[in-house]
Amino acid sequence: VIKDATGHKVFGVAQSISRKKWIERPYEPRAALGLAQQFNLPALMGRLLSSRGIDAEGVNSYLNPKLNTLLPDPLHLLGMKDGLNRLLDAVKKGQNIAVFGDYDVDGATSSALIYRYFLAIGIKIR
């Protein structure tokens, strides 16, 4: 059960509404205290970071993640370079470009984003 520095249950509960118990992972007490003090964090946050193996060097990137450090380089995706070259060729030749997307939320959103991007840079697509 997760407890605060005074030994009380965090948020006054020991389990979720679905009866899953909240059990604190093992952590390194000295490291947890050091992280909490160094970064002016609550003791619980220091313990959580320590239990996840986060050290002082990794605290800022863990608490303030950036997409460019979390996502892989898109050019490493299979077929990306070929697709990019084909797209550039179509733009240079003034060929029609179509955008296909599926009908779920991420498909519709990504299709709309790419459509609006091409319009913004002056390329007509269908």
Is residue 15 very low, low, confident or very high in pLDDT (cuts 50, 70, 90)?
A: confident
Residues 46-60: tens digit of each pLDDT: 999 999 999 999 999
φ/ψ of 11, rounded to 5, equals: 65, 10
CA pair distance 58, 79, nearest whole angstrom: 33
The confidence score (pLDDT) of residue 47 equals 93
CA pair distance 6, 43, nearest whole angstrom: 11
To the nearest whole number, what is the mean pLDDT of the chain?
Answer: 89
Residues 6+ apart with CB under 8 A from 48: 27
Supply the pTM of this predicted model.
0.55
CA pair distance 110, 17, nearest whole angstrom: 35
